A and B are shown apart, each in its own frame.
Chain A
């Protein structure tokens, strides 16, 4: 971390990634190694880990213990959940959504993946591509993570074999081709335990000339991850100062969800359909000349039109879809099963409507990608395709085009629990 002070902050950006692997593939060791070799572990943390390692009778300092929160819980059988971890290098700040890999934790993987730019899928080189690997790849693809790293770990236990690496690479590629459009896949052979190809280049695998994991994380291009084409601005809040100085100020506050907005642009407001022009784009740092995702700002319009939370500002020549019948992939988060024709609250951007699930088209067996069409039960950790009807029109894009305007959650009207999450097809 010592070089961080000299970092040029203007150039430092943010990468969010998830880690997935089945139990004992070495996920905790890998994260520990990444933090340790990139000098992101504090001495008091390390001392605590050394102490626990000793208590457990481990031979070496067990880096897996750095992220041990989840393991302890697993052993005690309490909530397993997404844990977020942070580290930085002079190039990037990283947010890791660390999710446990059991079958019953699909919900957590989906949650972690929803905000990630990149997914690390861990494979034990001895076991190769197994059911869980397929599941992780499926979820990464479903949630439209643009970059996947297949970390082929424990290479030390297969004699650092290039042949084994290529076998696994081929098996994964074959599987991934069935998923459709997985975007950018990078395969890295490593040994998390010994540190090969995590931060430092391995001396045991001369045949590999690709990047180390950290190098890849630092350099993978994520500039294209946001949609800068379709202008979308969900209104969160209306800023009305009621002060003498800002008497007529009326700013529509929100965070750009897509496209680029500039003063002078002609805009349309959904739901009303009224059009106007952007007078100014306001931030507390002054007016700005353009706003794009993911910036927060407030938009001022030339005309006084009625706009409130839940409305969407867009451009008249490129509006979102409008509809009350929505087809979506959903993942279920609750032990209480989906009620077909039951009512839920659907939250989409800053808007809420009532929704009824009219049909469960099919469920997906995420281990083999088979569609199950004759079973209408749908419960915790299941993924499937549904048809929804909403009480008022939604203004949306397909999830593939835009993660913000293409996603929603379903909320139970009585308990207010978040029951499921959906991606509009």
Chain B
């Protein structure tokens, strides 16, 4: 068993291969950085792929403005650590420019608006490939996603027009105006991500670890009470010991009750988990096919 490579090393090697292919095959790639653990792992792998040189592409954060403050503090420190360039696309700008109309009502979320800001940012930056942290195990609609996912010139995903991917031969050729989404973490599961974070000793935002927070219970999940949430009749905040399993827009990312305060405890919790992590994302529950719909529009 001399040349044995464990599963994390195999996944790392594969992701690094994909990141290097992206740099080589596209003129102007960009890495979408949300501040969530998947994009942190992806950016970390990009750092490793080109070490000791700087990343040959910038990071892009599409900022809904509805962030947990911790996310931004973390983001800036992390970007500094891996010596990357960061660009920020503000959803607020899209709203101010009249490109999108803010949702109203108690369940209003800027998640859907992100798509416009993202596509605008990709276009104004002239990017021809956007690296995303999507994993195939996250959701049914993603099980068939490619590493190199072709988008037409409107940023749309056409399930019928995807190229077969064999061996490790990725075809990133494209017509003018078309672009690609690239998913180096396609073959990772939530467990792989956590095990890798532990093995690599990657720092994470505190939000991922158990802490006390004021929350309300809405649409089957705990939402943090922040400035962006309007309390409805009958809702009163309660203090709970919680943690987040994904980090997105603060208005719709649900928390779970948890005592897992370090990586080992989180890994144990994920191992025993009874719900998929997307089970806590309110935006996915809006409709059964929510993900597929957003994907066709250009979201991930």
Chain B residues with CB under 8 Å of A350's CB are 21, 24
Chain A residues with CB under 8 Å of B9's CB are 295
Question: DSSP class of A's interface residues: helix, strand, loop or mixed?
Answer: mixed
If A69-B140, A255-B17, A347-B171 touch, whether A78 touches B160 (CB-CB below 8 Å) is yes
Which single member of A44, A92, A242, A347 contacts B53 (CB below 8 Å)?
A242
- Asked if A421 is an interface residue, CB under 8 A from chain B, the answer is yes
From A83-91, A173-181, A187-195, A363-371, give the one contacting chain B.
A83-91
The answer to whether B273 touches A83, judged by C-beta atoms less than 8 angstroms apart, is: no
Which single member of B54, B168, B171 contacts A404 (CB below 8 Å)?
B168
The answer to whether A239 touches B3, judged by C-beta atoms less than 8 angstroms apart, is: no
Residue on B nearest A245 in the bound complex, by CB: B52
Residue on A nearest B188 in the bound complex, by CB: A86
The answer to whether A421 touches B164, judged by C-beta atoms less than 8 angstroms apart, is: yes
- Asked if B287 is an interface residue, CB under 8 A from chain A, the answer is no
- Asked if A246 is an interface residue, CB under 8 A from chain B, the answer is yes
The answer to whether B169 touches A295, judged by C-beta atoms less than 8 angstroms apart, is: no
Q: CB-defined interface of B203-224 with A at 8 Å, one 1/0 digit per residue?
A: 0000000000000000000000
Give the number of residue pairs across the A-B interface with Cβ within 8 Å.
185
Chain B residues with CB under 8 Å of A58's CB are none
Q: Size band of the A side of the interface?
A: 35 or more
- Asked if A111 is an interface residue, CB under 8 A from chain B, the answer is yes
CB distance from A19 to the nearest CB of B (A): 13
Chain A residues with CB under 8 Å of B51's CB are 239, 282-284
- Asked if A294 is an interface residue, CB under 8 A from chain B, the answer is yes
The answer to whether A42 touches B164, judged by C-beta atoms less than 8 angstroms apart, is: no
- Asked if B11 is an interface residue, CB under 8 A from chain A, the answer is yes
The answer to whether B7 touches A13, judged by C-beta atoms less than 8 angstroms apart, is: yes
Which single member of A111, A283, A292, A411 contacts B3 (CB below 8 Å)?
A292
The answer to whether A69 touches B144, judged by C-beta atoms less than 8 angstroms apart, is: yes
- Asked if A219 is an interface residue, CB under 8 A from chain B, the answer is no
The answer to whether A418 touches B6, judged by C-beta atoms less than 8 angstroms apart, is: no
Chain A residues with CB under 8 Å of B273's CB are 1, 42
CB distance from A71 to the nearest CB of B (A): 12
- Asked if B226 is an interface residue, CB under 8 A from chain A, the answer is no
- Bound form: Cα–Cα A409–B164 in Å: 10
The answer to whether B189 touches A4, judged by C-beta atoms less than 8 angstroms apart, is: no
The answer to whether A236 touches B20, judged by C-beta atoms less than 8 angstroms apart, is: yes
CB distance from B38 to the nearest CB of A (A): 14
The answer to whether A9 touches B166, judged by C-beta atoms less than 8 angstroms apart, is: no
- Bound form: Cα–Cα A79–B144 in Å: 10
The answer to whether A228 touches B17, judged by C-beta atoms less than 8 angstroms apart, is: no
From B42-50, B61-69, B117-125, give the one contacting chain A.
B42-50
Chain A residues with CB under 8 Å of B11's CB are 14
- Bound form: Cα–Cα A422–B194 in Å: 37
Q: CB-defined interface of A384-410 with B at 8 Å, one 1/0 digit per residue?
A: 000000000000000000011001110
- Bound form: Cα–Cα A245–B52 in Å: 9
- Asked if B174 is an interface residue, CB under 8 A from chain A, the answer is yes
The answer to whether A421 touches B166, judged by C-beta atoms less than 8 angstroms apart, is: yes
CB distance from A293 to the nearest CB of B (A): 8
The answer to whether B191 touches A9, judged by C-beta atoms less than 8 angstroms apart, is: no
From B94-102, B235-243, B263-271, give the one contacting chain A.
B263-271
Interface residues of B (CB under 8 A from A): 1, 3-14, 16-17, 20-21, 23-24, 47-54, 136-137, 140-141, 143-144, 159-160, 162-169, 171, 173-175, 186-187, 189, 191-192, 195, 199, 264, 267-268, 271-276, 279
**7 additional contacts, CB 8 Å, given A13-B6, A81-B162, A237-B20?**
A1-B191, A1-B273, A5-B272, A14-B11, A83-B143, A407-B166, A407-B169
Pick 27 A–B contacts, CB within 8 A, sort by A.
A1-B271, A2-B271, A9-B7, A9-B199, A44-B274, A84-B136, A84-B187, A111-B165, A114-B166, A223-B4, A226-B3, A228-B3, A236-B20, A236-B21, A237-B24, A237-B50, A239-B51, A246-B52, A255-B17, A284-B49, A293-B3, A295-B13, A347-B171, A350-B24, A409-B166, A409-B171, A418-B171
